[in-house]
Amino acid sequence: MFNDMTDQDDQDNAKTQKLIKRIVGLILILVLIVLLNPFAIVGAGSVGVITRFGAINRVAEPGIVLKIPVVERVHTMDTRTQKDQVEAQAASKDLQIVKSTIAVNYHLDGVEATQVYQNIGVDYQDRVISPAIQDMFKATTAQYTAEELITQREIVRETAEAGLSKKMQPYHIVVDNFNIVNFDFSPEFNTAIEAKQVAQQSVETAKQNLARIEVEAKQAQTQAQGQADAQKALKDTGALSAEYLQYLALTKWNGILPTYTGGAIPFVNIK
C-alpha to C-alpha distance for 122 and 75, rounded to whole angstroms: 8
**Residue 141, pLDDT score:** 92
**Predicted structure pTM score:** 0.57
Which residue ranges in the chain fall short of pLDDT 70?
1-12, 29-36, 190, 192-206, 226-271
C-alpha to C-alpha distance for 136 and 248, rounded to whole angstroms: 83
**Residue 271, pLDDT score:** 46
**Residue 260, pLDDT score:** 54
Segment 142-168, tens digit of pLDDT: 999 988 888 899 999 999 999 999 999
The secondary structure of 157-215 as a DSSP string is HHHHHHHHHHHHGGGTEEEEEEEEEEEE--HHHHHHHHHHHHHHHHHHHHHHHHHHHHH
102-to-74, 98, 117, 176, 236 alpha-carbon distances in Å: 33, 12, 26, 14, 80
C-alpha to C-alpha distance for 47 and 45, rounded to whole angstroms: 7
**Residue 243, pLDDT score:** 63
Segment 24-57, tens digit of pLDDT: 777 776 666 555 677 888 888 888 889 988 888 8
Task: Provide the residue ranges of all domains of the chain, joining segments of one domain with +.
Answer: 20-78, 82-185
Q: Which CATH architecture has domain 82-185?
A: 2-Layer Sandwich (3.30)
Residue 105's contacts (CB-CB under 8 Å, 6 or more residues apart) are 81, 82, 83, 175, 176, 177
**Residue 270, pLDDT score:** 45
Point out which residues pair with 90 in neighbouring strands: 98
Residue 255's contacts (CB-CB under 8 Å, 6 or more residues apart) are none
User: Please, are residues 106 and 176 in contact by the beta-carbon 8 Å criterion?
Assistant: yes
**Residue 67, pLDDT score:** 85
51-to-119, 177, 189, 240, 249 alpha-carbon distances in Å: 14, 32, 55, 114, 114
> 179: buried, middle or exposed (CB in 10 Å: 19+, 13-18, 0-12)?
middle
**Residue 104, pLDDT score:** 93
Triad 257, 260, 266: Cα angle to 5°:
50
